[in-house]
Amino acid sequence: MNEVAVDDPEIDRENRRWVRALAAVGPPREAACSELYLMLLRVGRAEARRRAPLLHLDGPELEDIAHQAAADALMAVCERLDRFRGEARFTTWASRFVIFNVATKMNRHFWRRHEVPYDEEDWSRLARRFDSGPEDEAQVRELVAAVASAVDESLTDRQRLVFVATVLNGMPIDVLADELGSTRNALYKVLFDARKKLRAALVTRGHLCR
């Protein structure tokens, strides 16, 4: 194990207990998994309740998300035991997985119920993001029209879809990756290339400075 002991001996002993138990086989490992799952479930429920008002989720849906997130987090922790360096409490490290999973799953639920398809192109949404007064409206409309034109002319179909979903419609990239059967890193690369092409097009047309 690539562990670095913390300064607190009690925390260090507890961390080593978790790692040994989860790396074991048979009943000791099963007991440790059960104990950790209950802890992750408590964290998952708390995180789900914290996020619930923002995404308008409640009831059995929240409980289901917490259980799924805890189960996925337990699997992730067990698969990554060799990455735990012991620089914090093991339970704090493990909790990060369930918090991330809750966020991803709740965003996914929200977007699947969302009224706006993630590939819908309503460029007026982009215009509304500019903090501009009436005197700037014509300039904003011109810039947004230039962006829409550059998207049409400069991007591949894949780049266009990813740009529209994440930048125009605000879809979390984790959720889009799940929808498309892709990965976050792959979509980040697509988005990076799309932004690079769009900037070059806008510079060429005089809408941005080099």
CATH of the domain at 22: 1.10.1740
The reply to whether 60 falls in a domain is yes
Question: Does some domain include residue 1?
Answer: no
Q: In sequence order, which ranges of the chain are alpha helices (DSSP H)?
A: 9-23, 27-55, 60-79, 90-112, 124-128, 137-154, 157-163, 173-180, 184-204
- Residue 132 above 70 pLDDT? no
Q: What pLDDT sits at residue 108?
A: 76
Examine the pLDDT at 136 and tell me if it is beyond 90.
no
Q: Total structural domains in the chain?
A: 2
27 plus 108 within the same structural domain = yes
Query: Residues 6 or more apart from 170 whose CB is under 8 A from it?
Result: none
Assess whether 128 and 168 both reside in one domain. yes
Most confident stretch, 36-45, 50-59, 100-109 = 36-45
For residue 59, what is the DSSP state?
T
Q: Which of 74-83, 142-151, 185-194 has the lowest mean pLDDT?
A: 142-151
Quickly state the pLDDT bin for 121 (edges 50, 70, 90): confident
Report residue 141's pLDDT band, with 50, 70 and 90 as the boundaries. confident
CATH number of the domain that residue 148 is part of: 1.10.10.10
CA distances (Å), origin 197, targets 30, 50, 127, 141, 184:
52, 39, 20, 20, 20
> How far from chain centre, in Å, is Cα 15?
27
Average model confidence (pLDDT) across the chain: 85
For the segment 22-36, the average pLDDT, to the nearest whole number, is: 94
Q: What is the mean pLDDT of residues 14-19?
A: 94
At which of 112, 141, 158 does a domain end? 112
* pTM to 2 decimal places: 0.60
Cβ–Cβ < 8 Å for 77, 22? yes
Residue 1 — very low, low, confident or very high, per pLDDT cuts 50/70/90?
very low
Q: Give the pLDDT confidence score for residue 116 in this predicted structure.
A: 58
- With bands split at pLDDT 50, 70 and 90, how would you rate the model's confidence at 2? very low
Examine the fold and report which residue of 61, 80, 112 is the final residue of a domain before the chain moves on: 112
Owning domain of residue 88:
9-112
